[in-house]
Every structure is written in C-alpha cells, then in structure tokens.
C-alpha cells in the first residue's frame, strides 16, 4: 500500500490575553479567515482547517457554529466535542445526526468526540464529562446512519442502530424501576420448640444484605406457600411496610431465587 502524503492543516483561532485577562474583540469573520488561509498556503496545496464545535447540551447554538464553519467548504476538518455535564447521549446523537445531514456534503471530514479516553484530565478533553465513551460509540453510529441514508441504502447493522439503542434504554429504565429481593429459608441450628420440633425461618432480603422481614415456619417444605404472606401489609404494630412497598406476590417462587417487583 502506498503511503498517503502528509497533509498540513491549521487551527485559525486562539485566545489572546491582556493585562486584565482574556481580551475580547469583534466577531470572527469566516470569509476573511478563509482569505487569510489562502494567502498562507501560497502556491502549495490548500491548508486543511481544523474547527472545534463544542456541544454543551444545547444543540441550536452548536449547529449555528457548524453552519458558519461549513461556509469554508471541504477544507474543514470539523471536530464535534462532547462537553455535556449531564452526559445526555441521546441529545448528543441527535446533534451529530443533524450535523451530518445538513453539512456532511460540505465539509471535508467530521470527527465525533475529542480525546474521550482521557478520563482523568479535568474539563479539557471529552473524557472529563459523563458518558463520554458512550457518546463516542453511539455518536459514530449515529453519524454513520445519517451519512448512509444520504448516499446509499442502509446496511443491516446501521438500520438496526436505533432499535438496539431503544432496547438498551428500555432495559435501563426497567432496571431502575425494579427492586429485587432474595428469598431463602434456614433451619436454626440448636433452636427447638417446647415440643422438640426445630425452628425454620423464611427470610427476604434486598441485594446487599438488608433483611426486610422473616417468618417462622412449621416445617421447611412449607416455605414456598408462605412467601406471599411476607408481602401482605402488616397489621397494627407490624413491620412489613418496607417489604410491601418493594415487592409484589410472584406466581411461582422457588427457594433461593431472586425476584424483582
């Protein structure tokens, strides 16, 4: 494979500092910037222009900035940065899709996230923000779907992107609503009633070890039929309110299995 030639580029912006801090000036003129870059390139190949657009949760302002940069055409190497402190990947993917659909044919290239793998550097890279790696993976898939829809029929993997994402989100929402409990019974070692029978306890606990309630059973094999009694609201002075709020009766219960409400 022949090596690709080295392509030179430039970032045309910067921050100017003065005696009192950062110096502000008139709004950037994209047309004048383009002319200056043309003069800088001289008789050589045009310079690739790196432009950064930062998504902070509000798509409209970022889309307006993309539209400005897209005026410079296919020399633009556009980097979309994920700096949403809420980590909203859904809104981010919608933003990426809109950028590709509106301006994908204008600009030279589009990068999705910037340094999302740098998790321990505060604020500067995308990795400092929640869900940055998910924003990278899902953002690339969203961009690929938007691009494919414009130039050719969608591949099976791209067509299924929204369905897979919706399924993951539904599963996550369901898990947030579930409160799981573990049910098990044990015969107390050395404990016997006055008639000599052994004491068997059926307990229900949250994952993590917090015991919600227990019942004393006559014999071990009755624990399944007694499970629903644990879920009934207690009488005066009872202590099953916490459990009743966390679990509902299951139609089939087996000792040692966990059930979600």
Q: How far apart are CA 91 and CA 96, in angstroms?
A: 9
Measured in degrees and rounded to the nearest 5, phi and psi for residue 155 equal -70, 165
Q: How far apart are CA 79 and CA 81, in angstroms?
A: 6
Are 96 and 112 in contact, with CB atoms under 8 Å apart? yes
Query: Which of 13-17, 77-81, 97-101 shows the lowest per-residue confidence on average (mean pLDDT)?
Result: 13-17
Q: What is the pLDDT of residue 195?
A: 80
Q: How far apart are CA 82 and CA 57, in angstroms?
A: 9
Q: What average pLDDT does the chain have?
A: 76
What digits encode the pLDDT tens for the residues 136-181? Answer: 999 999 999 888 876 555 555 555 666 777 777 777 766 666 566 6
Assign 94 to helix, strand or coil. helix
User: Span 26-44, mean pLDDT?
Assistant: 84
More confident call, 239 vs 47: 47
Q: At what angle do helices 161-177 and 132-151 cross, to 10 degrees?
A: 150
Among 143, 261, 137, smallest CA distance to 204 is for 261
What digits encode the pLDDT tens for the residues 58-88? Answer: 899 999 999 999 988 888 999 999 999 999 9
Assign 208 to helix, strand or coil. coil
Among 42, 26, 35, smallest CA distance to 71 is for 35
More confident call, 209 vs 29: 29
Among 103, 101, 36, 53, smallest CA distance to 74 is for 103
Q: Is the pTM of this model over 0.75?
A: no
Q: What is the pLDDT of residue 247?
A: 39
State the pLDDT confidence band at 53, using cuts at 50, 70 and 90.
very high
Q: What is the pLDDT of residue 162?
A: 64
pLDDT above 70 as % of the chain: 72
Q: Is it the case that residue 246 has pLDDT exceeding 80?
A: no
Count CB-CB contacts under 10 A for residue 28.
Answer: 12
């Amino acid at each position: 494979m022949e090596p690709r030639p080295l392509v030179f580029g430039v970032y045309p912006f910067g921050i100017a500092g003065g005696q009192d801090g950062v110096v502000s000036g008139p709004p950037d003129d994209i047309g004048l910037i383009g002319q200056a870059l043309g003069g800088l390139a001289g008789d050589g190949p045009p310079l690739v222009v790196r432009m950064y657009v930062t998504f902070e949760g509000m798509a409209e302002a970022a889309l307006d900035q993309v539209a400005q940069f897209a005026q410079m055409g296919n020399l633009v190497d556009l980097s979309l940065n994920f700096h949403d402190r809420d980590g909203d990947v859904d809104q981010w993917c919608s933003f990426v899709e809109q950028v590709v659909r509106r301006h994908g044919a204008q600009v030279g290239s589009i990068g999705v996230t910037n340094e999302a793998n740098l998790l321990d550097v505060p604020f500067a890279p995308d990795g400092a923000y929640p869900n940055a790696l998910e924003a990278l993976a899902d953002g690339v898939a969203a961009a690929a779907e938007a691009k494919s829809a414009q130039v050719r029929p969608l591949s099976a993997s791209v067509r299924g992107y929204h369905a897979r994402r919706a399924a993951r989100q539904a599963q996550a929402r369901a898990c947030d609503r579930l409160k799981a409990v573990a049910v098990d019974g044990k015969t107390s070692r050395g404990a016997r009633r006055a008639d000599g029978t052994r004491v068997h306890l059926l307990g229900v606990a949250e994952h993590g070890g917090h015991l919600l309630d227990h019942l004393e059973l006559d014999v071990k094999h009755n624990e399944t039929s007694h499970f629903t009694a644990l879920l009934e609201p207690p009488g005066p002075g009872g202590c099953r309110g916490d459990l009743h709020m966390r679990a509902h009766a299951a139609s089939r219960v087996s000792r040692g299995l966990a059930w979600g409400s």
